[in-house]
């Protein structure tokens, strides 16, 4: 493997890994904040116990999310120094703002929340968990602003062999950013809800503390249903946004080699993923659906890969500008189809809840517990889709991925770090998973003793 | 004052903040087995930094991100050039970070001991590697006319930088011990005070050698400036202060010693950010490594709005957790 392949592999691996934990952190912190708010408002001990129960899961997850985030920040300079030199003027700013405005908030108030039980008043302590959630969501905003700039560079001028920021407002109102960020935020909420639902379902099926877990099953379903439906709509609109700003990505996602109007959408296809094999066997093709998804109109035109490739060759010089079509096609479908499964699951659960039969349906509880794998697959597919779809560019239209890699390092050096992180991350995954599973299956601890202000005395100390 | 100068100062301030705050976290991480003989005592030690370490580590993240934003070439050359030590640093920080959360999550002595070992190793390795990396900026490494690092891993392991790493570790041990002296009680505090008394001498001698070495390396004669001299004196003063039971003053002195040492380093470095040992003209400076005026202006506004805010809420955190930690504070 070349240096470029290794650097890409390392970035893909560490990013996917990091993003296993990020959406759980964002989603679950909001849900835990809601539980604690319920306790603050109504004083029901059940909510307090559940807050601390799911708070423990949240903290195990945050630990891994935070430390793997460090790797992401260092990696740009380590593996992608040519990229960093070229884009630092634009790309560095959102990263620094992320740290200053959001990550400081999240980390500081997480410590206050964990250790502040009994030291802070109930009201202030409640505020700390909301600030943790806010900080986590804010972090994602700046990271997405930076990433969206790579997808659709705006607000810059090329000067002295590098991109220089000249309009931060354009960067922060980049349509790819606004829709992409909403998409990520909703994905995080869906993930948090599924985790809470799965844990609750596991307990309910075993009749373990149903008086507690029916509450969290209800809460997670109540949030999941609207959010997952809204997410499908946002995801669908993001397709239209991409058609405008990254038409190559959309053409690759549909394996659409020739320009079409109107365009049909294939549910599955066999073959057709290489320039040597451009006529796939479409298993089910829904007429007009691609036009609708990609352009929001019944007879919309989708420009094909070949035509776009020719346009790019004229504009940027000879070369192959088509990303990996197979990965694009299937990552998008994995995301969309499994996302639909989550909506169906939410509908099923909401209907059972409405009929008062949630606790009796062992089938649903079993399925819901296993559903915890769905957001993992969906989130990964989403990132694979968006990053693979931008290739061969590292910054769309400005810099190719192959030009971004560090000139001063050797393939052997990247091998060293790749294997180091592979081993470390593998071990960490096992430990984190075992701990999460162990704590998720524990009984909810009784409420801690409260002081005269009604605040629990024991902190969740180390 | 140009924006470049402002941002050089801002980055120096961020690194100083990082070492003053995370410095005692590292120290506590290193010393937990020394001051805590039983699991309860070790937990007391860890819980003094429990609510704080995560927020303190963000100073490192913001320092690195600020280098990326304000001086992209500095970030690019340094991070790609110092590749191997940075991989090891990440491993150390990861091991240390998760061990805080994981160690108490299983009721097994072996489990806790293993996480403690990892955490201690990480807490030792991290300041050492950061010390080596930063010292190399001043010592000089091979950099060509395209601002690319042309050396190898071995170029980074020069005696000056290795000694800087060692000095920093000793300062962190000292800083951690005075912090523990201030934040614990009973036997843990007694042991921490004893460590402070001893490491004060060791760290003082190391710092004196390091300061003199730096002076000689930069051709400035053996007599140091006021600031580094103050750092050395403060380090030695700790041994008297802890003997008199002046925990607050001892901690203030170690905080000052670390801050003054880091500040001196950046003053010595200015206006260069990375010295080229190949050719002086290849050195990275605040001029040839910086971002555009627009970007720096924007970041200045962001910094001036948010950093004071961060100082307020982090300061408040320290106020909330000002009490000494005892075994009675340990929860479930």
DSSP, residue by residue, A71-121: HHHHHHHHH-HHHHHHHHHHHHHHHHHIIIIIIHHHHHHHHHHHH-TTTS-
CB contact, 8 Å: A64 with chain B? yes
Domain limits, chain B: 12-329
Residues of A in contact with B69 (CB under 8 A): 88, 92-93, 95-96
What's the ipTM?
0.92
Question: Alpha-carbon distance B260 to B250, whole Å?
Answer: 15
pLDDT of residue A284: 82
- Which are the contacts of B226, defined by CB distance < 8 A and separation ≥ 6? none
Strand A399-400 and strand B284-285: the pairing is unpaired
Are residues A462 and A83 in contact, defined by beta-carbon separation less than 8 angstroms? no
Distance CA B40, CA B156 (A): 41
pLDDT at residue B171 is higher than 60: yes
| CB pair distance less than 8 Å for B91 and A424 | yes
Residue A453's pLDDT is what?
Answer: 55
So what's the pLDDT on residue A145? 96
Mean of pLDDT over chain B: 93
Q: CB-CB: which of A84, A89, A115 is closest to B50?
A: A115
CB B254 within 8 A of CB B171: yes
Angstrom CA distances, A362 to A216, A275, A352, A354, A369, stand at 17, 49, 11, 16, 11
User: Which tokens is B205 given?
Assistant: 């001698």
Query: Percentage of chain A with pLDDT > 70?
Result: 97
A347 touches chain B (CB under 8 A): no
Q: How large is the average pLDDT for residues B152-173?
A: 95
- Distances in Å between the Cα of A116 and the Cα atoms of A124, A263, B46, B256, B322 are 9, 58, 16, 28, 12
Q: What is the structure's pLDDT at A297?
A: 86
Which carries the bigger pLDDT value, residue A44 or residue A462? Answer: A44
Q: Which residues pair with A265 in a beta bridge?
A: A286
Distance of CA A178 to the CA centre of its chain: 15
Flag whether pLDDT at A457 surpasses 60: no
Distance between CA A155 and CA A21 in Å, rounded? 31
Looking at chain A, how many residues does it have?
A: 462
- To the nearest whole Å, the CA of A126 is away from the closest chain B CA by 15
Span A251-263, pLDDT tens digits? 999 888 889 888 8
Token pair in block for residue B103: 């160690």
User: Which CATH class name applies to B12-329?
Assistant: mainly alpha
User: Which residue reads 């049909």 in tokens?
Assistant: A264
With cut-offs at 50, 70 and 90, classify the pLDDT of residue B82. Answer: very high
What is the enclosing helix (H) or strand (E) of B118?
A: helix B109-139
Q: How far is CA A355 from the centre of its chain?
A: 33
Q: Report d(CA A72, CA B93) in Å as an integer.
A: 13
| Residue at token pair 């609510």 | B51
Distance CA B69, CA B46 (A): 34
| DSSP code per residue over A138-177 | HHHHHHHHHHHHHHS--SEEEETTEEEE--HHHHHT-HHH
Query: A64, A226 in Cβ contact below 8 A?
Result: no
Q: Are A129 and A53 in contact (CB under 8 A)?
A: no
- Which of 84-123 (A) contact B at CB < 8 A? 84-85, 87-93, 95-101, 103-105, 107-112, 114-117, 119-120
Pairing of β A285-286 and β A156-159: unpaired
Mean predicted confidence (pLDDT) in B131-151: 94
Distance of alpha carbon B49 from alpha carbon B321, whole angstroms: 9
- Cα gap B30→B22, rounded to integer Å: 12
Partner residue facing B307 (CB), from A85, A100, A165: A100
What is the SS3 assignment for A324?
coil
- The whole-angstrom distance between B228's CA and the closest CA on chain A is 29
Contact (CB<8Å) A64/B73: no
Please indicate whether, in this complex, the C-beta atoms of B79 and A101 are within 8 angstroms of each other: no
Q: What is the pLDDT of residue A57?
A: 92
For residue A405, the 8-state DSSP code is S
pLDDT in tens, A402-454: 999 999 999 999 999 999 999 999 999 999 999 999 999 998 888 877 665 55
Summarize pLDDT for A273-332 with one digit per residue, the tens.
887 787 888 778 888 888 888 888 888 888 989 999 999 999 999 999 999 999 999 999
Summarised one tens digit per residue, pLDDT across range A96-121 is: 999 999 999 999 999 999 998 888 99
Residues B44, B46, B47: CA angle, nearest 5 degrees = 65
Domain boundaries, chain A: 3-208+394-441
- 8 Å CB contact of A115 and B51: yes
Q: Using CA of residue A317, residue A319, residue A323, residue A325, what is the dihedral sign? A: positive
- Mark which residues 120-149 of B lie under 8 Å from A by CB: 147-149
Residue B63: closest CA among chain A residues belongs to which residue? A96
How far apart CA A285 and CA A296 sit, in angstroms, is 18
Q: Cα Rg for chain B, rounded, in angstroms?
A: 20
**Contact yes or no for B280/B143 (Cβ under 8 A):** no
d(CA A88, CA A95): 10
User: Which residues from chain A sit within 8 angstroms of residue B17, using beta carbons?
Assistant: none
With residue A286 as reference, give the H or E element that holds it. Answer: strand A285-286
Q: What is the Cβ-side half-sphere exposure of residue B46, based on CA atoms within 13 angstroms?
A: 26
- Between B236 and B327, the higher pLDDT residue: B236
Q: DSSP character for B149?
A: B
The predicted structure's pLDDT at residue A287: 85
Structure token digits, residue B145? 């006319």
Minimum Cα–Cα distance from A76: chain B residue: B76
Measure A315 CA to nearest chain B CA, in Å: 28
Q: Is the bond preceding B271 in cis, omega lying within 30 degrees of 0?
A: yes
Check pLDDT > 70 for residue A462: no
A273 near A255, Cβ under 8 Å? yes
Read off the pLDDT of residues B173-216 as tens digits, 9 standing for 90 and up: 999 999 999 999 999 999 999 999 999 999 999 999 999 999 99
* pLDDT band at residue A455 under the 50/70/90 scheme: low
The answer to whether B98 and B318 are in contact (CB under 8 A) is: no
Contacts of B244 (CB under 8 A, 6+ apart): none
Q: B323: Cβ–Cβ under 8 A, 6 or more apart, which residues?
A: none
**CB proximity under 8 Å: B 235-254 to A:** none
Kindly indicate the confidence band of residue A140, based on its pLDDT and cuts at 50, 70 and 90: very high
Mean pLDDT of A143-150: 96
Quick one: which H or E segment has residue A159?
A: strand A156-159
Task: Using a pLDDT cut of 90, give the percent of chain A over it.
Answer: 77
Task: Give the gap in angstroms from C-alpha A400 to the nearest C-alpha of chain B.
Answer: 17
Other residues' Cβ atoms within 10 Å of the Cβ of residue B14: 25
Greater model confidence, A45 or A447: A45
Residue contact A407–B148, C-beta within 8 A: yes
């Amino acid at each position: 493997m070349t240096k470029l392949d290794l650097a890409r592999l390392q970035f893909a691996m560490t990013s996917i890994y990091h993003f296993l934990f990020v959406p759980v952190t964002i989603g679950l912190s909001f849900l835990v904040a809601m539980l604690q708010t319920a306790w603050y408002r109504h004083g029901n001990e059940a909510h307090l116990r559940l807050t601390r129960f799911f708070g423990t899961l949240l903290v195990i997850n945050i630990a891994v999310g935070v430390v793997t985030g460090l790797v992401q920040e260092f990696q740009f300079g380590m593996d992608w120094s040519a990229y960093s030199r070229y884009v630092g003027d634009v790309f560095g700013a959102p990263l620094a703002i992320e740290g200053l405005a959001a990550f400081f908030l999240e980390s500081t108030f997480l410590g206050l929340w964990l250790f502040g039980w009994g030291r802070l008043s109930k009201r202030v302590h409640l505020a700390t968990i909301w600030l943790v959630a806010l900080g986590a969501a804010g972090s994602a905003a700046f990271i997405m602003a930076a990433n969206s700039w790579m997808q659709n560079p705006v607000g810059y001028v090329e000067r002295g062999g590098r991109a220089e920021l000249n309009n931060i407002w354009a960067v922060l109102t980049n349509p790819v950013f606004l829709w992409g960020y909403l998409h990520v935020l909703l994905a995080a909420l869906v993930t948090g809800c599924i985790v809470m639902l799965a844990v609750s379902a596991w307990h309910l099926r075993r009749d373990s503390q149903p008086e507690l877990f029916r509450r969290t099953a209800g809460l997670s379903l109540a949030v999941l249903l609207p959010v997952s439906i809204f997410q499908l709509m946002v995801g669908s609109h993001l397709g239209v946004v991409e058609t405008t700003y990254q038409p190559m990505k959309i053409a690759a996602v549909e394996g659409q080699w020739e320009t079409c109007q109107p365009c049909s959408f294939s549910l599955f296809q066999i073959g057709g993923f290489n320039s040597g094999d451009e006529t796939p066997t479409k298993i089910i093709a829904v007429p007009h659906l691609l036009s609708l998804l990609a352009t929001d109109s019944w007879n919309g035109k989708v420009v094909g890969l070949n035509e776009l490739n020719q346009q790019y060759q004229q504009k940027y010089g000879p070369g192959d500008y088509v990303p990996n079509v197979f990965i694009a096609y299937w990552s998008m479908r994995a995301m969309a189809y499994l996302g639909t499964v989550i909506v169906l699951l939410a509908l099923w659960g909401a209907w059972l809840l409405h009929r008062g039969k949630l606790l009796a349906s062992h089938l649903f509880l079993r399925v819901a517990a296993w559903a915890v794998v769905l957001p993992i697959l969906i989130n990964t597919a989403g990132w694979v889709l968006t990053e693979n779809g931008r290739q061969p560019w590292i910054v769309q239209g400005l810099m190719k991925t192959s030009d971004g890699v560090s000139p001063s390092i050797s393939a052997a050096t990247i091998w060293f770090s790749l294997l180091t992180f592979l081993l470390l991350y593998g071990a960490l995954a096992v430990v984190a998973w075992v701990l999460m599973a162990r704590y998720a299956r524990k009984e909810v601890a009784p409420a801690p003793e409260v002081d005269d202000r009604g605040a629990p005395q024991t902190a969740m100390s180390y | 004052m140009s924006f470049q100068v402002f941002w050089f100062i801002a980055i120096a301030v961020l690194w100083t903040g990082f070492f003053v705050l995370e410095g005692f976290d590292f120290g506590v991480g290193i010393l937990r087995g020394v001051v805590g003989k039983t699991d309860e005592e070790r937990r007391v030690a860890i819980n003094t930094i429990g609510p704080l370490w995560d927020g303190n580590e963000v100073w490192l993240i913001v320092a690195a991100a600020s280098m990326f934003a304000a001086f992209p070439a500095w970030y690019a050359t340094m991070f790609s050039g110092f590749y191997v030590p940075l991989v090891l640093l990440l491993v150390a920080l990861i091991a240390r970070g998760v061990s805080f959360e994981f160690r108490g999550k299983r009721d097994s002595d072996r489990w806790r001991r293993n996480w403690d070992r990892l955490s201690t190793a990480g807490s030792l390795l991290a300041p050492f590697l950061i010390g080596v990396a930063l010292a190399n900026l001043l010592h000089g490494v091979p950099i060509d006319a395209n601002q690319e690092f042309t050396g190898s891993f071995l170029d980074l392991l020069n005696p000056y930088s290795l000694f800087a790493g060692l000095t920093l570790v000793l300062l962190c041990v000292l800083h951690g011990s005075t912090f523990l002296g201030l934040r614990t009680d009973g036997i843990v505090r007694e042991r921490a005070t004893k460590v402070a008394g001893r490491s004060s001498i060791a760290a003082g001698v190391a710092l004196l050698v390091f300061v003199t070495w730096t002076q000689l390396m930069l051709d400035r004669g053996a007599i140091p400036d006021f600031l580094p001299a103050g750092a050395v004196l403060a380090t030695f003063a700790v041994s008297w202060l802890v003997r008199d039971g002046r925990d607050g003053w001892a901690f203030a002195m170690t905080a000052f010693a670390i801050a003054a040492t880091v500040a001196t380093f950046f003053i010595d470095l200015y206006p260069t950010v990375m010295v080229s040992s190949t050719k002086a003209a290849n050195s990275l400076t605040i001029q040839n490594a910086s971002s555009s005026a627009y970007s720096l202006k924007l970041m200045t506004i962001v910094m001036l709005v948010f950093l004071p805010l961060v100082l307020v809420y982090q300061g408040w955190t320290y106020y909330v957790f000002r009490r000494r930690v005892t075994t009675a504070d340990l929860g479930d």
